[in-house]
């Protein structure tokens, strides 16, 4: 019966997972583990259960319930998730066997510098997303009037973070990272974003657990009926199997002497 109990528990878990998957839709795919963890953690803080699933290539997929898909997308958009993956100079200068022209080499260099600066600014606490646009003109040394280099920085951040105090540091960071760029030629644009209020903070129900699974309160009753129905069916099946095994058990039976043939002499 111990084996039957283990099988029953495994069957319940499998059925619960199948039911949960049937009610879920894919939110984002082709994510790395950090992106998936950030998305799931953010949604859970707002009372939305989410599931992660790893693919064969190691990439992660995040799913949520169908009736909470729109809410989840709005929360992730306000939170700037999933965060963009930036390329490094090593990534953009990977050789593909073709010879690049000087113009292509320069454009690639500008793009790589922009990506690395954007990545650095995005790592600042409170920054949801950041972009750095560089203008590095190729000046002719014979020209009397040279066009100065410039940069514009776009930062989307949480409204609760005093990003205005960091503008001088951001401008200095960009100016020191680009040769020939001065502090005064760096402009910074800040876009504050007000975070969505978690459902639990407003007193409304978020989500609860049932059999170790995160469920919306409206789905708990249906999950309970499903659980009890599957439990009854599995117990009936286990009882039937136990009876069949008992009925077919080996035994020792006494032979009737009167029924045995008598040898004549």
For 74-108, write each residue's pLDDT tens digit. Answer: 888 888 888 887 877 677 767 555 666 777 888 88
Instruction: Parse the chain into domains and list their residue ranges.
Output: 2-82+216-245, 89-193
Question: Please, which pLDDT band fits residue 201 given cuts at 50, 70 and 90?
Answer: very low
Is the pLDDT reported for residue 200 higher than 90? no
pLDDT, tens digit, for every residue of 124-158?
998 999 999 999 888 666 666 778 899 999 999 98
Token couple for 86: 């930036």
Strand partners, 39: none
C-alpha Rg value of the chain to the nearest Å: 33
Contact (CB, 8 A) for 122 and 84 = yes
Question: Please, which pLDDT band fits residue 199 given cuts at 50, 70 and 90?
Answer: very low
Pairing of strands 50-54, 186-193: unpaired
Q: Find the length of the chain.
A: 265
* Nearest of 89, 104, 83, 93 to residue 177 by alpha carbon: 89
Domain spanning 2-82+216-245, CATH architecture: 2-Layer Sandwich (3.30)
Q: Using N-to-C axis directions, what is the helix angle for 2-22 and 217-247, rounded to 10°? A: 150
Q: Measure the CA angle with vertex 222, ends 203 and 66; round to 5°.
A: 70
Contact (CB, 8 A) for 172 and 183 = yes
Residue 69 contacts by C-beta under 8 Å, 6 or more apart in sequence? 25, 27
Do domains 2-82+216-245 and 89-193 share one topology? The answer is: no
At the top level of CATH, which class does the domain 89-193 belong to? alpha beta
Q: What is the pLDDT of residue 103?
A: 78
* Highest-pLDDT range among 14-23, 73-82, 224-233, 239-248: 73-82
Whether the upstream peptide bond of residue 82 has omega within 30° of 0, thus cis, is yes
In terms of pTM, does the model score above 0.75? no
């Amino acid at each position: 019966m111990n084996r039957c109990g283990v099988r029953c528990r495994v069957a319940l878990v499998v059925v619960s997972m199948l039911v949960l998957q049937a009610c879920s839709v894919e939110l984002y795919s082709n994510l790395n583990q950090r992106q998936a963890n950030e998305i799931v953690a953010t949604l859970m803080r707002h009372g939305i259960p989410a599931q992660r699933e790893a693919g064969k290539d190691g990439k992660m997929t995040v799913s949520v319930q169908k009736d909470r898909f729109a809410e989840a997308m709005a929360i992730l958009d306000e939170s700037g998730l999933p965060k963009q993956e930036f390329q490094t100079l090593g990534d953009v200068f990977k050789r593909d066997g073709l010879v690049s022209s000087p113009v292509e080499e320069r454009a690639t260099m500008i793009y790589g510098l922009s990506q690395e600066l954007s990545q650095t600014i995005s790592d600042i606490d409170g920054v949801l997303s950041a972009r750095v646009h560089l203008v590095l003109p190729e000046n002719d040394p014979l020209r009397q009037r040279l066009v100065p280099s410039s940069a514009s920085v776009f930062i989307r951040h949480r409204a609760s973070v005093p990003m205005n105090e960091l503008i001088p540091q951001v401008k200095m960071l960009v100016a020191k990272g680009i040769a020939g760029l001065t502090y005064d030629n760096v402009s910074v644009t800040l876009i504050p974003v007000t975070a969505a209020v978690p459902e639990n903070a407003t007193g409304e129900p978020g989500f609860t657990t049932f059999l170790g699974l995160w469920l919306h309160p409206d789905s708990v009753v249906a999950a309970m009926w499903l659980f009890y129905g599957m439990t009854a069916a599995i117990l009936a099946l286990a009882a039937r199997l136990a009876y069949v095994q008992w009925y077919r058990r080996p035994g020792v039976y006494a032979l009737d002497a009167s029924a045995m043939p008598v040898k004549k002499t």
